[in-house]
Structures are given as C-alpha cells and as structure tokens.
Chain A
C-alpha cells in the first residue's frame, strides 16, 4: 500500500494528516504489517493534553504491543471509537478508517521535524 503523498511521517511509523490546527494520526501500512493482526487499541481520553514523544495510545496484536507516541504536542480532540469494536480497521485501512487520534496542536513549528512521504519512502528503504 502506497504511503499517501499529502501526509507527514515519523521514524516510529506513524502518519500525520494535517487539517488546519487539527492533526489526524495513525500508524502506517508498514507498521501494521510488522505488528500482524491488531486485536486491541487502547485510546486516550478526550481532552488529554499530550507532549511530543509521550506514549498516548497502545496498539496490540496477538503477540506484540506497540506504544503510539505523540508526534506533536497538543490536546486530544478526537478518538476513533470504531476501533473499540473493530481494531482490525488498523490492518485493513491503516491510512483512512484505521486512524487512531486527532490532536489539536499547540506548536506548529514541530511540523517541520516530520518526514514527508518521499523522505519516509526513503527511510523504509533503509529499514
């Protein structure tokens, strides 16, 4: 599955889709493939304030656990409740229906630390 060109990425294999002040965040196709069948996603509470680098969600497969780290600082303004009943969306549609959290970011300058799709593609080549 190709990495969407208009998203940003991190080395932890998360994607960020910026829509104004709100950023939608999920894990990439590469990440879901590595994890295998996702069986549970632990979501943060609405309105939680998170700092960049802080673990704020957990994605679990049958035999692995992966923390999702906040790629940016901000406030949780949306969580994907569909994952509570259908965690497999992370596998089936990682870049769309399998999104995890929406953050209202506080520091837009952090965006420049993220990778573009081209940079992420190159990063995956090395992994």
Chain B
C-alpha cells in the first residue's frame, strides 16, 4: 500500500511492434477482403492500444493493485456498503466452467444446474424478504430500485390510477439513488422529514399522503443505522392511501432472521447481493440487485423467471410482465457466489451474521461516543452515524478526519451522509472483523480526535502515508482530462 512510486499509464509503456498475446494462425482458406467488406466500411485509423508484453501487463496491473485498498488489505468500515469479507471459495466456485462457460441461450435441458441454482436462490431471497416471488434480473441496487418503481407504475396503471399517482415519498435521510430512481420513472419526489428519534415523522407523513401517492421508498434500518419503530404505522398510512412500500435493502445485513421486510408491510424489496451476501464489490461492480415482491405485484415482474414443471427447471414469463430491465437473466456470476454464501451459512449462520454485525456496531458506537458527537443516542443496528461537529469547531472538517484515517491503513467511513447529520461519519464495521481490528479503529479515531484538538493542521494536511497526498478535485472538474492523449 505504501508504495509511493507512481505507476506510468499502460500507454506510456508502449513500444511499436511489441506483443503480449498471440492468436492461433488462421486455419481457414482466406477470402479476399474486397469480397467480404466494402472498402468504405473499413477502419482507416488504427486505435492506439498499448503495445506491451505479457510481463509488462502483469507488472503494470500488479503495481496498480498495490496502490489500492480492499477488504483483503485492511478494515473498510464504509457505512451503507457492507464491506464484509468475500469468501475465497466462492471465487473458485464462480469460475467452475460449468457456470462460467454457459451461453445464456443454451437449451434448458443443458443448463438444469444453473436453473436450479437460480430457482433456489429466488426462493431463498423470497423467504428472507418474507414476500411472494423474486426476480434475479436487476444488475445492482439502483437497478432494483428502478425495476421496483416500474412495477409500482404497472400496478397503478392496471388500476387506472397511474396518471394520478405521481408522487413518490422519500425520507430526508434516504440514499441519493432513491430520488434519482423515482425520477427515472417520472415520479415527483416529496421529501418526508425525520422525527427527533431519527425515524419517519409519522404525523408529517399522514399529512402528505393522498390520491396522488404512488408509494414510499424506505430503508429500515435507515441510513442513520436506526430501526424505525413506527414502521407498521408508516405501512398502514401508505397502504390506506392506496400506495405501495419499497424497501431499499442496502441495510439488510442487520435483520436476517430477526425480522422480514414483508412482515414490516413492504411490497417490494431489493437485496444488494454484493453487500449482504458477500459477493465482492470489484472496485465498483459487478453488483446484483434482485427484488422480491408481494403477491399483488408478482405477475408484473420482469421475465423470465425460473419455475419448476414436472421436475424440470424452465424459463417462464409472468403473465403481465413489464418486460425486461437488462439483457439475459441478471449477473449470474454474482448469483452463484450469493447462493454459495447462503448455503455455507444456513438459517442460523445468517442470523449470526446480523447478530454480530449489530453487536460490533454498537460496541464501536459506544466506544467512540465521548470523542465525537452522537446525534441519535439509542441502540443502533449494523451501523451508526457520528457527527464531526465538535471537530469542525476546532477547524477540522469530517473530510480531514476521513483522510487522516487513511494514514492508519483504514478506509474511512462514509462521510457527509446522511445529509440530515452535520459533518456525518457513517460507520459500518460488519461481522467479519476481529475485536482487535475494532479496537485499533477506536484507537485511531481517538488519536485523531486528540490531534484535531491539539494540532488541527496535522489533520487538515492528511494523508501522509498514502501513495499520493490529497488530490485536487476542483482541478479535475474544472479542466476535465478524462483520457490519455498521445504526445504528437
């Protein structure tokens, strides 16, 4: 991690004529080009890909990897992202040729194992959600949100209410994707305020619903890491107004085996398999965002789903399907890993996951509450939010605290989110960290709090031990350089 030597761009290693890979010789008789492609279709300018050898490629990317933090490298308490350990055996499993070398249009009889896996995963997620049916198609959490809202529109449309139900309610503590997803289906977003305990302000909500309400998007536990005690009341208000409830499953790591979103009154739930079910985040993706729905929505699901007929697994399209939200069936490679994760845990194992995630978060929260402001003082679930308000008054911003943490070999918590907490620091330790790691984090945070009070400039100039020092975001945005350009 602490290699300070910059890695040149792969393009800067290029030497004309050097090659890193050779395709087999062409073994079929050649047809003259002019018989195959009219000249006007031929490419005139060769794309400037790098010309490098295999060893250069390996050293280049190995060098880059060493500039990168990951769960395999160190603690990653990034709130709302559930950066837990990604089991290695699941990587081996996903690479089995019987999974990785399947073509999506193979005849059903040749892919019974894959279909069975998807069928089982559909049913496991349906159970964990406490709902009726699940599609595995959405490619990520935000994509699941979009899919879920499309289902809402289809549902209201069939009841002749789509033109009138145009408002999506979103709490002020919501993930940014929620309002952005609502915009993708032409819903108007109305922000619901939070109450003093960090939950939905029930009285305000009551005054906001009506025949214009399409539904509400909620995370529970919410982005403050708090379970909304009034969830049943919220569900009743929305349902009585004719709306539907969408569950943003980003925080599902807190609840497995304890409470199911369906039982809370939700109609649609997405799971981030890359969070709760430990599939690796890959530096930003691939994710997977299956959604489970209640009975009244299952006929609208995107298709195809896997069903079982006469002992065989087959593709089936729901009767009133909205269509499809991506090509093929979803990020199957991610589904394989999530399936393996669930099978390696079983019901008790998943409950232990949530149980320990919650224990770890509460332990950290209480260890840190004297050194940082704690805006909501109650038991948290799998994550919690601190405020850097005190440090701000000492001249140190939350961003500075985040950067200083990097010097300790720790990824920083999520910062400046949720928006309703000033100078927010959102910490999610996950269940897979040792007590020693948690304690080391506490020590680092305490040390930074002392520094902020005694030598704020040290914190303001951080980080020091990272491959590069603080980077100039403003320059990047003012004069965007988005690609390498050859020197002429």
Among residues of B, the one whose C-beta sits closest to the C-beta of A40 is B477
Q: Interface range on chain B: under 10, 10 to 19, 20 to 34, or 35 or more?
A: under 10
Residues of A within 8 A of B416 (CB): 63
Shortest distance from the beta carbon of A92 to any chain B beta carbon, whole Å:
12
Residues of A within 8 A of B474 (CB): 36-37, 39, 61-62, 88
Q: Interface range on chain A: under 10, 10 to 19, 20 to 34, or 35 or more?
A: 10 to 19
In the assembled complex, B25 has its CB within 8 A of some CB on chain A: no
Residues of B within 8 A of A39 (CB): 474, 477-478
In the assembled complex, A87 has its CB within 8 A of some CB on chain B: yes
Residues of A within 8 A of B473 (CB): 37, 62-63
Name A37-87 residues within 8 Å CB distance of B: 37, 39-40, 60-63, 87
Shortest distance from the beta carbon of B109 to any chain A beta carbon, whole Å:
53
Residues of A within 8 A of B478 (CB): 37, 39-40, 87-88
Give bound CA distance, A62 to B416, whole Å.
Answer: 14
Residues of B within 8 A of A87 (CB): 478
Among residues of B, the one whose C-beta sits closest to the C-beta of A88 is B478
Among residues of B, the one whose C-beta sits closest to the C-beta of A87 is B478
Among residues of A, the one whose C-beta sits closest to the C-beta of B478 is A39
Name B414-434 residues within 8 Å CB distance of A: 416
Residues of A within 8 A of B477 (CB): 39-40, 60, 62
Give bound CA distance, A61 to B416, whole Å.
Answer: 15
Give bound CA distance, A63 to B473, whole Å.
Answer: 9
Give bound CA distance, A62 to B478, whole Å.
Answer: 9
Q: Mark B450-481, 1 if CB is under 8 A from A, else 0.
A: 00000000000000000000000110011000
Residue from A37, A60, A61 having most chain B Cβ neighbours under 10 A: A37
Give bound CA distance, A88 to B125, whole Å.
Answer: 50
Give bound CA distance, A36 to B399, whole Å.
Answer: 14
A-B CB contact pairs (8 Å), 5 listed: A37-B473, A39-B478, A40-B477, A62-B477, A87-B478
B-side residues, CB < 8 A to A, are: 416, 473-474, 477-478
Extra contacts besides A40-B478, A62-B474 (7): CB < 8 Å: A37-B473, A39-B477, A39-B478, A60-B477, A61-B474, A62-B477, A63-B416
